[in-house]
Structure 1
């Protein structure tokens, strides 16, 4: 006899309490294998495919695409060990789910593997399954259930309800009678369109290969607002009436836009507020002549040849300089246990680097950066940056950092006083590298100059330690040969 098991939204780690359903990967009536991804959710940290620990027939889904569910809320129910689907499945809260889809589910045909005969794995980790290959999704057809004794009359056609106007953009839709994918990658763009009831299937993207960008959605929102204003100026039985300001009357105030602090933006706001309220931070900065560093980088990349592997980036060299500086000044690779009133010096350097994405600011972490050379750090930074760009970073890749490198020079600015990435103790900021007049060997010359700033937790060290760290970094930038002592 089939046993219907309820799968709840698991704890996705790092204190996350809720997640937004981005896309369902299964439908009611589908057969799922153990640890097969069933839904894609977005948390405050990453986009995650959630695997189901049970194998069997999906009998119900809970939650529409775009809705938020708290951890522990039901996601779906699965009939485990079913030879035919339950007669009265639980109602589905997701669009497209129907009782007929569940009641027609049964055992797979001969020769197909029966996922319903397996027990749950229990391996719903932080957004991951056990890594077993997922079974091909398939819908069970009534003619495969049991052995028919006689031909049964054809069932009456099921009339699907007419879909309502789309308020939640789908991944695929119909445009001019043809089915095709909607070219949207960013969950931010989907959410913005959903909030303003913009049908993404009607938009033409201005990005590469027709990709719909935020600017396209913003333009559609403005057009909709202008059309609404024009409609309000039109009398019911006459032509449009021009709005003329009345003498002495004040113009109506525009309504303020309210943007919910949710998702990545909400998580960043909480972390920065906590950093400011808990950490007594201070900032010191110095200008450095980066001409020799840029020359050393050019020499490294020239020596590798046209097919000698990936180029070494400036960020990778600065990251390697940071790990060398932290070996000399371990006070800055620490955190503060406020409850125990203790400074905790950490044994390894897990180097975070700030990356701006369409979902907002994220800080991927290069694990064990103190054991890597510049080339290895650069390769890992490139890999994590690509995952950040596509929104595929896992929560584990965004947490656990011990020190952060922030290259705000890419925005064309010289300096900043960055906020420490709580619960770390320091952050090194790097401005743009640009030609400036500089006294070199007693003469005025044009050199490549960069401003470095260090924001540090004054509880873990005093200004002498912070100044020593920053000065060592600047010395390595000005004379890269200083690093040879630690390589």
Structure 2
């Protein structure tokens, strides 16, 4: 009999994915568990195994297509009733239930509900709303089919979503550019859409303040080159400035823990974390990703270099999964290899700060005082700290950057962390 392999609900509010690769074709024999598709959500690349054993009859999608939960990916001719990998009869697709679910209400005030009929919600959204005692009737849906997503529930809980019945904030329409000349429109890829939403949310919710510091790393750069040569001879990982900066930041975060914290405006509490998971912004063919280096404070410089190399390779190969992109407490973004004299990055919500690192270059620096001075060529690297002014003040940020500078310019401190 013929069985349709439909896109299952990946969870976490994901309701659509982009087809990146198709590993089978009509006429191919497939086994239950064989990877048939690689798709990309707004969070990560996901491999989809076939739930059926048989022969591929039809594949109605192609690379680049956007498919939604419940859409058919391929049809398989099986010899018997298809059984899922868990030994249960495989469903056609996870349905988006349409029922009126009141549940324990978390309504605030007498706002009019936005739903006049059955409430459509993803299964993960329903589960989360039930766990958090939130009424789905209060939530404004943003799903592509008019349904409530898990992200909608999370946004409502955090107080960032406008309540149903109060209207919504929408993007301003653009003018018709075609009246001025030829135009082309290209659909946003999943990662770019996620980045756009995430950056807009961070900029809208967090009052950013930026502080810049130019640090003389002449001594560190000389030592780095020596260690890099020795490490290369032993077949070790490449030793750039980034591992040293990561180590200095972990030391600063321990001395200034509010920069490792998050602000919970719903409960009006500061969440201070007793762990340091460093997000490292990386460019990729898929767009901007921020994989997380866990327990970065427990690693030495060489271990950090090896871990950063492994993370970079996973990102370039498209193998960075959802687990690699979660749980960061502070982020670093290094533009030094690409150019630019300096920049001010946007905080990676829900973190409270991010450190930007620009391109280092040799500059003439005056050494001494007004009466006795001379000029030297020094290696100067620009750093920029963006921080949440609700959690930290300018003086706190100055002290944080001062600690980073002290560690980076202290040869003994750096030597002890190798």
TM-score (norm 2): 0.70
- 3-state SS in 2 of match to 1:266: helix
Q: Quick one: structure 1 residues 377 and 434, their matched pair in 2 at CA, closer, same or farther if it must change by over 3 Å?
A: same
In 1, the alpha carbon distance for the partners of 2:60 and 2:299 equals 45
In 1, the alpha carbon distance for the partners of 2:350 and 2:334 equals 20
Equivalent position to 2:203, from 276, 286, 295: 276
Say if 2:261 is the partner of 1:330. Answer: no
Match in the other structure for 2:167: none
Q: Is the 8 A contact 1:353 1:365 kept in 2?
A: yes
How far off its partner does 1:416 sit? 1.0
Say if 2:385 is the partner of 1:458. Answer: no
Equivalent position to 1:19, from 17, 20, 23: 17
Q: Is the 8 A contact 1:24 1:40 kept in 2?
A: yes
How far off its partner does 1:449 sit? 0.7
- 3-state SS in 1 of match to 2:252: helix
How far off its partner does 1:282 sit? 0.7
1:128-155: CA deviation from partner (whole Å, max 9, x where unpaired):
xxxxxxxxxxxxxxxxxxxxxxxxxxxx
Question: Which 4+ residue blocks in structure 1 deviate beyond 6 angstroms?
Answer: none
How far off its partner does 1:43 sit? 2.3
Say if 2:362 is the partner of 1:397. Answer: no
In 2, the alpha carbon distance for the partners of 1:473 and 1:304 equals 25
Q: Quick one: structure 1 residues 308 and 42, their matched pair in 2 at CA, closer, same or farther if it must change by over 3 Å?
A: closer
How far off its partner does 1:77 sit? 4.7
* 1:372-411 → structure 2 map (5 Å cutoff): 372-411=299-338
In 1, the alpha carbon distance for the partners of 2:318 and 2:84 equals 32
Match in the other structure for 1:288: 215
In 1, the alpha carbon distance for the partners of 2:334 and 2:19 equals 33
Paired residues, what number?
A: 324
* 1:16-55 → structure 2 map (5 Å cutoff): 16-55=14-53
* 1:135-146 → structure 2 map (5 Å cutoff): none
In 2, the alpha carbon distance for the partners of 1:482 and 1:343 equals 31
* 1:87-98 → structure 2 map (5 Å cutoff): none
Bigger radius of gyration among the two:
1
Match in the other structure for 1:310: 237
In 2, the alpha carbon distance for the partners of 1:269 and 1:37 equals 30
- 3-state SS in 2 of match to 1:357: coil
- 3-state SS in 2 of match to 1:410: coil
In 2, the alpha carbon distance for the partners of 1:257 and 1:369 equals 44
User: Structure 1: where are the runs of 5+ without partners?
Assistant: 87-115, 124-251
Q: Quick one: structure 1 residues 335 and 73, their matched pair in 2 at CA, closer, same or farther if it must change by over 3 Å?
A: farther
Say if 2:290 is the partner of 1:363. Answer: yes
Q: Quick one: structure 1 residues 32 and 354, their matched pair in 2 at CA, closer, same or farther if it must change by over 3 Å?
A: same
Q: Quick one: structure 1 residues 413 and 305, their matched pair in 2 at CA, closer, same or farther if it must change by over 3 Å?
A: closer
Q: Is the 8 A contact 2:56 2:77 kept in 1?
A: yes
- 3-state SS in 1 of match to 2:233: coil
How far off its partner does 1:426 sit? 0.7
Equivalent position to 1:430, from 340, 357, 362: 357
1:460-486: CA deviation from partner (whole Å, max 9, x where unpaired):
222222221111111122224234677
Match in the other structure for 2:104: none
How far off its partner does 1:256 sit? 3.5
1:4-42: CA deviation from partner (whole Å, max 9, x where unpaired):
655432333543321112332223454433322111212
In 2, the alpha carbon distance for the partners of 1:71 and 1:305 equals 48
Q: Which moved more, 1:20-29 or 1:471-480?
A: 20-29
1:421-464: CA deviation from partner (whole Å, max 9, x where unpaired):
11111100111111112233553211101111110111222222
Q: Is the 8 A contact 1:434 1:449 kept in 2?
A: yes
Q: Is the 8 A contact 1:415 1:453 kept in 2?
A: yes
Q: Is the 8 A contact 2:408 2:414 kept in 1?
A: no
In 1, the alpha carbon distance for the partners of 2:53 and 2:271 equals 44
Q: Which moved more, 1:314-323 or 1:62-71?
A: 62-71
Q: Is the 8 A contact 2:252 2:404 kept in 1?
A: yes
TM-score (norm 1): 0.61
In 2, the alpha carbon distance for the partners of 1:20 and 1:455 equals 33
Q: Is the 8 A contact 2:300 2:417 kept in 1?
A: no
In 2, the alpha carbon distance for the partners of 1:439 and 1:383 equals 40
Q: Is the 8 A contact 1:323 1:370 kept in 2?
A: yes
The alignment's C-alpha RMSD in Å is 2.7
In 1, the alpha carbon distance for the partners of 2:252 and 2:394 equals 15
Q: Is the 8 A contact 1:34 1:121 kept in 2?
A: no
Q: Is the 8 A contact 1:427 1:454 kept in 2?
A: yes
